[in-house]
């Protein structure tokens, strides 16, 4: 009997050890599964993010502060929404100006999510939020630019837009707040304004015509100014010449008077010499190579020519 008992105890030992190892293995598996489950359901809230926790599709909380948080496994899910500002490039659209001109407007908007709960409840997604915001922006811009003429819109110097972008932003934000979309427009800018293709050539030709007309106006003004300057210059020249001529005549008259005085003084000193001198001067002016003079032989003039000087 004692030998049989010893054999039974030896046979039971391997079975007990196997059960022990099995319990340890199961415990480890359970621990690992629990740790894995815990780790897989931890999530990090980063700077510039909203973490939206849903339970069976319904939002139950929104984590906005950076840090580590946890969700219930298999029941809750987490999605991310941006907390930073985003840029939305709005699809270009046509508007009509006050003077009935058609033009294409291309804008972009800077916006952010202010209340994720309202955004999810009313806009559902970022794409829908941008679409709603784009419709509001287009509606406001169409109303604002519809009060301006085409030239006022495209010409910055003559523009009456003033704080146009600020007015659009404020009005769009009023509409977004009214409908509780939980988003806010930070800025809206007009990238460019284009003409519809069918109107572009006509406007281009009109602009060329206007520029040519303006150039002709400048040329006419230049010609008129040039004529005025020439007329003033000619008048000043005539005045200068007239004054110079008058001064010259005065000087000539004074010179002739002085010459006559000298002649008279010389004549008074030696009458015969003076007569001889004046006769010789007359010869110089009247006698040339083929000059023929008929004079009485006894005339003083002839006698001097023939060398008879008394």
**Is residue 112 located within the same domain as residue 166?**
yes
From first to last of its 310 residues, the chain has per-residue pLDDT tens of 444 444 454 454 556 777 777 888 888 888 888 787 777 778 888 888 999 999 988 889 998 888 888 888 888 889 999 999 999 999 888 888 888 878 888 899 999 999 999 999 999 899 999 999 999 999 999 888 888 877 777 665 444 455 788 899 999 999 999 999 999 999 998 887 776 666 666 667 778 888 888 898 898 999 899 999 999 999 999 999 999 998 899 999 888 888 888 877 777 776 777 777 777 777 777 776 676 767 776 776 667 666 665 5
Alpha carbon distance 8, 268 (integer Å) = 191
Question: Do residues 190 and 94 both lie within one domain?
Answer: yes
Whether 43 contacts 51, CB under 8 Å:
yes
Q: 66 Cβ partners below 8 Å, 6+ apart?
A: 45, 46, 47
Q: 5: which 2 tokens?
A: 């008992």
Mark whether 187 and 281 lie in a shared domain. no
Domain boundary (61, 82, 103) is at 82
Same structural domain, 90 and 189: yes
Residues 106 and 63 in one domain: no
How many residues does this entry show for the chain? 310
Which domain-ending residue is among 30, 61, 82?
82
The domain in which residue 287 lies consists of 270-310
Q: Is residue 4 situated within a structural domain? A: no
End-to-end CA distance of the chain: 212
Same-domain pairing of 74 and 54? yes
Residue where one domain finishes, among candidates 62, 82, 102: 82
What is the total count of domains within the chain? 4
d(CA 41, CA 55): 13
Closest among 2, 82, 13, 99 to 48, alpha carbons compared: 82
- Residue 181: inside a domain, yes or no? yes
Residue 110 shares a structural domain with residue 184: yes
């Amino acid at each position: 009997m004692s030998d049989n008992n010893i054999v039974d105890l030896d046979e039971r030992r391997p079975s007990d050890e196997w059960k022990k190892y099995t319990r340890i293995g199961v415990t480890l598996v359970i621990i690992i599964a629990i740790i894995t489950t815990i780790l897989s359901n931890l999530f990090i809230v980063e700077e510039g993010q909203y973490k939206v926790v849903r339970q069976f599709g319904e939002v139950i909380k929104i984590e906005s502060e950076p840090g580590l948080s946890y969700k219930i496994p298999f029941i809750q899910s987490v999605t991310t929404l941006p907390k930073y500002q985003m840029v939305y490039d709005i699809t270009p659209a046509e508007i009509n100006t006050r003077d009935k001109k058609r033009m294409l407007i291309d804008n972009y908007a800077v916006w952010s999510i202010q209340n994720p709960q309202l955004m999810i409840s009313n806009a559902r997604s970022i794409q829908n939020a941008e679409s709603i915001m784009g419709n509001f922006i287009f509606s406001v811009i169409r109303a604002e630019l519809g009060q301006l003429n085409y030239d006022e819109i495209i010409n910055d110097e003559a523009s009456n837009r003033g704080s146009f972008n600020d007015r659009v932003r404020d009005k769009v934000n009023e509409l977004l707040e009214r409908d509780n979309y939980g988003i806010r427009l930070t800025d809206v800018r007009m990238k460019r304004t284009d003409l519809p293709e069918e109107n572009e050539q006509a406007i281009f030709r009109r602009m060329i015509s206007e520029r040519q007309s303006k150039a002709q106006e400048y040329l006419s003004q230049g010609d008129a100014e040039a004529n005025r300057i020439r007329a003033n210059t000619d008048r000043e020249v005539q005045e200068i010449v007239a004054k110079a001529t008058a001064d010259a005549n005065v000087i000539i008259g004074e010179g002739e008077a002085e010459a006559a005085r000298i002649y008279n003084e010389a004549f008074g000193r030696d009458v015969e010499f003076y007569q001889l001198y004046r006769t010789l001067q007359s010869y110089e002016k009247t006698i040339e190579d083929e000059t023929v003079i008929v004079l009485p032989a006894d005339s003083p003039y002839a006698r001097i020519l023939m060398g008879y000087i008394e």
